[in-house]
């Protein structure tokens, strides 16, 4: 490794340390921090992120990248060093457009806004966070404004997390998906509803956590390099490849809430733990995009965790943990309960079929807010109307409406939601590719064995970190560009086995 490369890596590693420290401050804020710590924490996060940004946008970094560019072109495209130069150069060119002063202001606002939301949501008090959210919209537009030339202000914001996906691309994709999902939702809605009363009993939190921990461990989550803590809104975060944590939230009256959120975050964590050690401390040791990250959480949560094969192994174990609650519930009844499709108010509780309608609603609101077609003050009512139109159910209060997701309150408006639907689509596309390579995967899952699937995902996705752009990674791993067909095939196959649907799909094909 030559001197320039060493210097670049040294600088990147220092920046990574600052960012990891900031991530820990944020994890702490969401798990253990006492309320009195809030104001100082906001300042501290602002300082760390500002310093990281200042150090990354130092012209010396740009000069190093310039000098290293000719070397990179002589190296194999997928070598660590060529990839590092390519990815960091793209990050650098984006970062230098954002003033450090703006970053500090934005991060401080986000921390304050998160605290305000954490108070306002239980109190159902949108008015209390409205000024925060209005400022977030302003700041989101200011951020987008540093990247002029896009067809839509959201293009730049989406590009931060889902490169290769513009507003135009997402709109077309989502319109296509929506056109084919809505008939499926309607066909299911015309059937007698599934009975999920078995999930709405009393399940002690500690037992839920114990079972979730067992499943996460079997999936391959390494607890020597991770842990699970309680929070309001579950998330995965990473401070190094050796320390990738998830958080959970349990409801004693709803078995599904904690269980599937643990499986979901475990999927993210497997991606985080699966990066090659050589990428440690470098900007390559992360997921390549929000959509690909979400594909892993949804693959483990839904494609695996809500499958018949999975529960043929785990249901007897779950019954052992909750004998009084589930001892007399047949496995098939439980399987139908966890796959019940019904219009609902909460995105994270939604079934696989209606889930994307929640996402598309939020995506559309982001565009409308950024375009000025919708004002923040009108958002609660717009939300209620859209819930009525899409789901045909009574408007929620704001707690279960516009206040339900943390994203706009701890982040920005724009680019926050498209990744969820991209992830759903990709979860099926990746799983289909893994099955092509290893047709015995479903039988292994039915034995509680996940190593072949986990191994294929490490090999084709996790180990690479951010080395490949999402479009490259998808093409390499699955042999085709992103496509909604495997996902629709998966949904049709699964739900025509659960409901009596005249969809022309093979019955009970799952």
Which chain residues interact with its own copies by CB under 8 A?
13-14, 17-18, 20-22, 24-25, 28, 32-41, 43-44, 47-48, 51, 222-227, 229, 239-243, 245, 280-281
Contact 235, 265 (CB under 8 A): yes
Beta bridge partners of 247: 229
Q: What is the DSSP string of 22-44?
A: HHHHHHHHHHT--GGGHHHHHHH
* Catalytic residue list: 265
> In whole angstroms, how close is the CB of 267 to its own copies at the nearest point?
18
> In whole angstroms, how close is the CB of 486 to its own copies at the nearest point?
34
Residue placing its CB nearer to its own copies in the complex, 24 or 309: 24
> In whole angstroms, how close is the CB of 279 to its own copies at the nearest point?
12
The residue written with tokens 């483990």 in the block is 300
Residue placing its CB nearer to its own copies in the complex, 227 or 251: 227
Contact 462, 409 (CB under 8 A): no
> In whole angstroms, how close is the CB of 494 to its own copies at the nearest point?
35
Angle at 152 between CA 150 and CA 153, to 5 degrees: 90
Tokens coding 505:
């799909």
Q: What is the distance between the alpha carbons of residues 489 and 122, in angstroms, rounded to a whole number?
A: 39
Q: What is the distance between the alpha carbons of residues 477 and 429, in angstroms, rounded to a whole number?
A: 9
Contact 129, 117 (CB under 8 A): yes
Contact 357, 342 (CB under 8 A): no
Residue placing its CB nearer to its own copies in the complex, 134 or 205: 205
> In whole angstroms, how close is the CB of 281 to its own copies at the nearest point?
7
> In whole angstroms, how close is the CB of 48 to its own copies at the nearest point?
6
Q: For residue 505, how many C-alpha atoms fall within 13 Å in the half-sphere facing its CB?
A: 22
Q: What is the distance between the alpha carbons of residues 400 and 122, in angstroms, rounded to a whole number?
A: 10
Burial of 102 (0-12, 13-18, 19+ CB in 10 A): middle
Q: What is the distance between the alpha carbons of residues 180 and 505, in angstroms, rounded to a whole number?
A: 13
Residue placing its CB nearer to its own copies in the complex, 220 or 226: 226
Contact 28, 45 (CB under 8 A): no
Residue placing its CB nearer to its own copies in the complex, 29 or 307: 29
Q: What is the distance between the alpha carbons of residues 349 and 262, in angstroms, rounded to a whole number?
A: 13
* Cα 355 to chain centroid, rounded: 13
Contact 395, 387 (CB under 8 A): yes
Tokens coding 429:
């596309």
> In whole angstroms, how close is the CB of 350 to its own copies at the nearest point?
32
Closest by CA position to 413, among listed 190, 139, 220, 163: 139
> In whole angstroms, how close is the CB of 47 to its own copies at the nearest point?
4
Residue placing its CB nearer to its own copies in the complex, 269 or 410: 269
Closest by CA position to 452, among listed 442, 441, 462, 463: 441
Residue placing its CB nearer to its own copies in the complex, 51 or 103: 51
Residue placing its CB nearer to its own copies in the complex, 20 or 427: 20
> In whole angstroms, how close is the CB of 36 to its own copies at the nearest point?
3
Closest by CA position to 15, among listed 72, 64, 78: 64
Q: Are strands 243-248 and 236-240 parallel, antiparallel or unpaired?
A: antiparallel
Residue placing its CB nearer to its own copies in the complex, 260 or 271: 271
Contact 80, 284 (CB under 8 A): yes
Q: For residue 416, how many C-alpha atoms fall within 13 Å in the half-sphere facing its CB?
A: 22
């Amino acid at each position: 490794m030559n001197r320039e490369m060493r210097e670049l890596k040294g600088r990147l590693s220092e920046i990574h340390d600052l960012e990891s420290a900031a991530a820990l401050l944020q994890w702490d804020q969401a798990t253990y921090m006492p309320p009195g710590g809030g104001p100082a924490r906001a300042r501290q996060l602002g300082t760390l992120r500002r310093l990281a940004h200042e150090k990354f946008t130092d012209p010396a970094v740009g000069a190093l990248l310039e000098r290293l560019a000719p070397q990179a072109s002589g190296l194999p495209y997928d070598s660590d060093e060529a990839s590092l130069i390519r990815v960091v150069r793209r990050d650098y060119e984006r970062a230098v457009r954002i003033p450090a002063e703006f970053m500090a202001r934005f991060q401080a606002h986000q921390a304050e806004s998160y605290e305000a939301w954490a108070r306002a949501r239980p109190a159902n008090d949108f008015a209390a966070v409205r000024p925060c959210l209005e400022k977030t919209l302003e700041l989101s537009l200011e951020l987008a404004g540093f990247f002029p030339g896009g067809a839509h202000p959201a293009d730049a914001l989406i590009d931060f997390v889902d490169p290769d996906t513009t507003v135009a691309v997402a709109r077309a994709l989502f319109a296509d998906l929506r056109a084919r999902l809505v008939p499926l939702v309607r066909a299911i809605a015309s059937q007698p509803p599934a009975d999920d009363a078995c999930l709405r009993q009393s399940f002690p939190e500690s037992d839920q956590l114990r079972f979730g921990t067992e499943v996460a461990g079997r999936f391959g989550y390494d607890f020597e390099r991770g842990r699970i803590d309680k929070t309001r809104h579950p998330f995965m975060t990473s401070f190094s490849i050796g320390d990738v944590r998830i958080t959970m939230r349990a409801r004693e009256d709803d078995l599904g809430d904690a269980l599937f959120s643990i499986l979901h975050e475990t999927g993210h964590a497997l991606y985080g733990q699966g990066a090659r050690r050589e990428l440690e401390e470098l900007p390559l040791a992360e997921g390549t995009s929000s959509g690909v990250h979400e594909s892993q959480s949804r693959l483990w949560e839904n494609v695996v965790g809500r499958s018949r094969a999975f529960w043929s192994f785990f249901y007897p174990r779950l019954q052992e943990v909750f004998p009084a609650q589930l001892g007399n519930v047949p496995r098939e009844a439980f399987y139908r309960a966890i796959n019940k499709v019904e219009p609902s108010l909460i995105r994270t509780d939604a079934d696989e079929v209606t889930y994307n309608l929640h996402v598309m609603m939020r995506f559309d609101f982001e565009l409308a807010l950024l375009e000025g077609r919708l004002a923040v003050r009108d958002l609660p009512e717009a939300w209620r109307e859209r819930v009525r139109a899409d789901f045909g159910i009574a408007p929620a209060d704001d707690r279960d409406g516009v206040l339900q997701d943390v994203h706009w309150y701890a982040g920005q408006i724009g680019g926050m939601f498209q990744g969820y639907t991209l992830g759903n689509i990709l979860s099926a596309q990746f799983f289909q590719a893994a099955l092509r390579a290893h047709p015995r995967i479903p039988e292994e899952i039915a034995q509680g064995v996940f190593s072949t699937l986990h191994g294929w995902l490490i090999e084709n996705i996790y180990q690479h970190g951010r080395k490949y752009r999402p479009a490259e990674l998808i093409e390499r791993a699955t042999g085709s560009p992103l496509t909604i067909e495997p996902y629709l095939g998966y949904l049709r196959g699964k739900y025509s086995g659960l409901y009596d649907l005249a969809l022309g799909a093979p019955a009970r094909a799952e």
